[in-house]
Structure 1
């Protein structure tokens, strides 16, 4: 299991153990983390699972594919350096300690 911390815009933290093979979005959804809507169910067809990855993790995650970067154009206040869609980040055991910050709102 990998412990992932989801930080709401108001600072509320949710530390969740997520099984490798699931996505960061599925970990949030399955554990009731508010603010990750995942309207498309993880198909990379919306931006409602947008987060800002903690800067310490940006280079440790797999690079975003073009479909993800295109969809991030529709996210609320995307940051080119740290924005990711959680449906596109598959959890691996070495992601223990990953921290993601939720935006003020999802579009």
Structure 2
């Protein structure tokens, strides 16, 4: 299990244990986290799973692929340096304790 904390748009926190190999988006949807839609099912086609990774500079994240970079240009909420698509963050042991902040809108 890998623990992920979601900081919801109202400031509240929800910690969820996800399975290794699941994405941060899949983990959120499975736990009924309000604020991550994932309309495309994790196929990097909608940007409705946009999150901001807390302490992104200190976290070892998968390399952002060009498709994700392109979709992050289409987010409803402003993109920042810590923006990622949660469908592209696949859980492994190195992401245990990951904290992501959800934008005000998707």
State the TM-score, normalized to the length of structure 2: 0.94
Please list every run of 5 or more consecutive structure 2 residues that lacks an aligned counterpart in the other structure. none
1:57/1:34 CA distance change after superposition, 3 Å: farther
Higher mean displacement: 15-24 or 87-96: 87-96
CA RMSD of aligned residues (A): 1.2
**How far off its partner does 1:93 sit?**
1.6
Following TM superposition, by how much is the alpha carbon of 1:104 offset from its aligned partner in structure 2, in angstroms?
0.5
Ranges of 4+ aligned residues in structure 1 off by more than 4 Å: 56-59
Q: Which residue of structure 1 aligns with residue 6 of structure 2?
A: 6
Structure-2 change in CA distance of 1:18 and 1:57 (3 Å): farther
What is the match of residue 77 of structure 1?
78
The unaligned stretches of length 5 or more in structure 1 are none
CA distance in 1, matches of 2:71, 2:58: 18
**Residue 23 of structure 1 aligns with which residue?**
23
CA contact 1:42–1:87 (8 Å) conserved in 2: yes
Matched, 1:44 2:47: no
Aligned to 2:67: 67
Aligned length: 105
2: CA distance, partners of 1:66 / 1:58: 22
